Amino acid sequence: SRRPDGLAYGVWSATRTQSGWSAPAPVSIPSVTNLSGGWEVSVARDETLYLRMDDASSNTETDIYEVKKVNGAYLAPVRLDNNVNSPQSEIGPFVDPDGDYLIFNSSRPGGLGGMDLYICFSDQNGSWLPAVNMGSAINSSSDEGGVFVTSDGSYLFFLSDRPPHGRNPYWISASVIDNLRPLATDESSSGELPKVIRLAGNYPNPFNPTTTIAFELPVTTAVQLGVYDLLGREITQLAHTQMNRGFHTVGWYG
């Protein structure tokens, strides 16, 4: 908010009461030289803030920052690493309340349009894994953003500029998130890591309306995965991003 007292943009909070909401109050976040912004805020259950900020001293565009709360006070904002951010714009973060995943929109190369939605999952150490494009089930050749997942984890809402209606809200089953999720471990049930690249058949097959494609990567590498017809024409692109070594699945909503 930019309040009429002359303060620059900042984060404000209100507390739910029995009669409604308390008066908004500013959230005290230490200032950092050259860092401005602090909007499009998402809050985890532990009160960690994820928000969009600009660093005037950096050659990157807008990035996602994390603000942790320790002993009741917020620390200075910290830019998330390059598993999340890129030299292009990252905006509109939405964090799972338990910190399981972070969704945001980015204009980085390799997407399907101008601004695409990407997701990062948290590993067992609480670090963010490399961002994965959420694919054509959500993204289009237009801009997507404004993502929100319902509190029961059932639905994902987002905004899209796709024709013919222009900027409008859309929704999809939040199962699209689990279809992009890597296994909890890079190992198979036998404890072994992949030794070769392997693309498995989709399951179920036949299917209506969704199917899952599984594949294995022996090294961390760039992955491009698409669906083509018998004449070699591309129907859709399911993945075009960096992926970790291990076992992966991607969903297709055909």
Answer yes or no: are the C-beta atoms of 10 and 38 closer than 8 Å.
yes
Answer yes or no: are the C-beta atoms of 174 and 234 closer than 8 Å.
no
Structural domains for the chain: 182-254 (2.60.40)
Residue 184's pLDDT is what? 45
- Using alpha carbons, list the distances in angstroms from residue 114 to 106, 117, 119, 120, 145: 8, 10, 16, 19, 11
Instruction: Tell how far CA 43 is from the center of its chain.
Output: 14
Q: What is the pLDDT of residues 87-124, one digit of tens each?
A: 899 999 999 999 999 999 999 888 888 899 999 998 87
**Could you count the other beta carbons within 10 Å of the beta carbon of residue 6?**
6
pLDDT at residue 252 tops 60: yes
Answer yes or no: are the C-beta atoms of 57 and 34 closer than 8 Å.
yes
pLDDT at residue 146 tops 70: yes
Task: Compute the average pLDDT of residues 237-254.
Answer: 77
Residue 93's pLDDT is what? 97
Residue 209's pLDDT is what? 62
**Best CA proximity match to 7, nearest among 29, 73, 65, 16:** 29
Residue 190's pLDDT is what? 52
Reduced to 3 states (helix: H, G, I; strand: E, B; else coil), residue 16 is strand
Q: What is the DSSP letter of 203?
A: B
Residue 186's pLDDT is what? 45
Q: What is the pTM of this model?
A: 0.71
Reduced to 3 states (helix: H, G, I; strand: E, B; else coil), residue 180 is helix
8-17, 32-41, 52-61, 182-191: which has the minimum mean pLDDT?
182-191
